[in-house]
Structure 1
Amino acid sequence: MKQSIICDSNQNETEISALMADGIVIFPRQLKWKLINTAQQVKLQNPTENRFAIKVKCTDNNLYRVKPVFTFIEPKSSVIFNVNRYDSNATIDHILFLTTSAEKTDDNPRLLFADSMANSDETIEMMKTAPLINS
């Protein structure tokens, strides 16, 4: 898996704005919550010519809700994920975007991940938007 960090020329290393993994760009690289029971967005951008299925996982499903959990990201397009954090103590958590290649004829991303787990096909661990911080 190839990863690179994207930042504006006027940003320092602690203000990194995005992460690129296997051609997919993730904005922002880090989420911080000052208020609980609020939502933030993560954008995945696919500048490649390939279609991918995406599955989202996080370290605490009781604390976070991410929608959509399964989706496709088309070539040269982007997808917005809504991340809700519910009331709890301050923690550092992670969100993980898993990708697998998808054909134009595929219509259910959930099935692609079920098949890959059953067949031991390679599913790419794409990125941890780490940390999800309650501050």
Structure 2
Amino acid sequence: MNYQSSRSLSNFGAPSRPPPSPPSHIGLIVYPPVAEFITIGGAAKHVLTNNGASRLVIKIKCSNNRLYKVSPVYSFLDAGSSRDLEICREEGSARNDKLLIVYKEARSEDTDPRAAFTAETVTGRIVLPLIVVS
């Protein structure tokens, strides 16, 4: 009998696959790629850069909205431009938390970034780990 390790397979026995890549004309970079905090709280500033050829609409999700606040949550980002992402952490114990930055190409008629995310289509995702050091 030939047994495979359960570690090499995802749920239901299917091989795990990386998420699909966004189209080449859409791109987003987050710098720095990790946010570090201490248990008493603090703030971090990151830069979101649209390195693609299309305007993007961006939504930030957090695994722990009790300890973390982000600004902006929704935004547009023109091709070739950058904007700051601010993350504030309240005092609390260390956990494994993350931000999920989801983005997609904005339509020319989109004027409200929140409304642009009513449809469930998402083109790209970036995970920003939120690391707490003691």
Residue by residue, what CA displacement relative to the aligned partner does 1:28-57 show, whole Å, maximum 9, x if unpaired?
111111363311012111121101100000
Residue by residue, what CA displacement relative to the aligned partner does 1:41-88 show, whole Å, maximum 9, x if unpaired?
121111211011000001000010000000001111012110001110
Q: Please, what is the CA RMSD of the aligned residues?
A: 1.7
In structure 1, the residue matched to 2:123 is 124
In structure 1, the residue matched to 2:86 is 82
Query: Higher strand proportion, which one?
Result: 1
Cα contact 1:96–1:125 (8 A) shared by 2: no
The percent identity for this pair of structures is: 28
For 1:133, give the aligned amino acid.
I
2:48 to 36, 44, 59: 44
TM-score by length of 1: 0.75
User: In the comparison of the two structures, how many residue pairs are matched?
Assistant: 111
Question: In structure 2, how many angstroms separate the alpha carbons of the residues matched to 1:45 and 1:2?
Answer: 17
Q: How does 1:34-113 map to 2 (within 5 A)?
A: 34=38, 36-113=40-117
Cα contact 1:100–1:112 (8 A) shared by 2: no
SS in 1 for 2:117: helix
In structure 1, the residue matched to 2:16 is none
SS in 2 for 1:76: coil
List, as ranges, runs of 4+ consecutive aligned residues in structure 1 with deviation greater than 4 Å: none
For 2:21, give the aligned amino acid.
K
- Structure 1, gaps ≥5 residues long: 4-21
- Structure with max Cα Rg: 2
For 2:108, give the aligned amino acid.
K
TM-score by length of 2: 0.76
For 1:134, give the aligned amino acid.
V
- Structure 2, gaps ≥5 residues long: 1-19
